[in-house]
Structure 1
């Protein structure tokens, strides 16, 4: 991994590579490949589970709670990246959507989606 690369970018690239391998020869040995090729409901359930664990960890106090929260955030980001890949969405597309929202109030942005 190049020094300037963000770990999340390297992770996205690894997930992309695993998706290509899984599509090519059914590489089922990695956890990522299994998530990418298994039932979509299972992957969605995993994202839901990790989101719940992140929320629970957010309520924990002290240094141990903070460490647990960071760990769970990592799990949620990983599973979200796998789900994005499964849906054929690059992280850059999500970043573009977030950039689009800068300068727009959250209330206005939400209202624009319901029109």
Structure 2
């Protein structure tokens, strides 16, 4: 599944029955719970990266991407919005880009 198809599926589940869809269940719990779940998955991916288990890291990375998209959807931030931001940063040194951020 492409990340775009996954994002579209998540968006389509916003109004679904939480009893029949894991995505709808997450979204029904609100943005804070979606963010918490993303954080949990990110920590699990970090643990697998440190351990060096490629297969487990791959699995956890898929979970991270899924939960990132759910968290974004919970705040009405689309994958296209993120792509616009990435395009804005393209060709700019990461050091220079970070130095130009307000509040960092």
* TM-score, length-scaled by structure 1: 0.81
Task: Give structure 1 stretches of 5+ with no counterpart.
Answer: 1-5
* Number of the residue aligned with 1:3: none
Larger radius of gyration: 1
* Number of the residue aligned with 2:101: 113
Secondary structure at the aligned position of 2:4 is classed as helix
Structure 1 Cα separation of the partners of residues 86 and 64 of structure 2: 18
Greater helix share, structure number: 1
Q: Which deviations, in whole Å up to 9, do the C-alpha atoms of 1:43-65 show, x marking residues without a partner?
A: 1111111111111111123xxx1
Runs of 4+ with deviation above 3 angstroms? none
Aligned length: 102
Q: Give the deviation of 1:40 after TM superposition.
A: 2.7
1:1-115 to structure 2, matched below 5 A, reads 7-19=2-14, 21-22=15-16, 27-29=17-19, 30-61=21-52, 65-114=53-102
Secondary structure at the aligned position of 2:18 is classed as coil
Task: Give structure 2 stretches of 5+ with no counterpart.
Answer: none
Across the aligned residues of Structure 1 and Structure 2, the Cα RMSD in angstroms comes to: 1.4
Q: Which deviations, in whole Å up to 9, do the C-alpha atoms of 1:60-110 show, x marking residues without a partner?
A: 23xxx1010010000000000001111111101111111111111111111
* TM-score, length-scaled by structure 2: 0.89
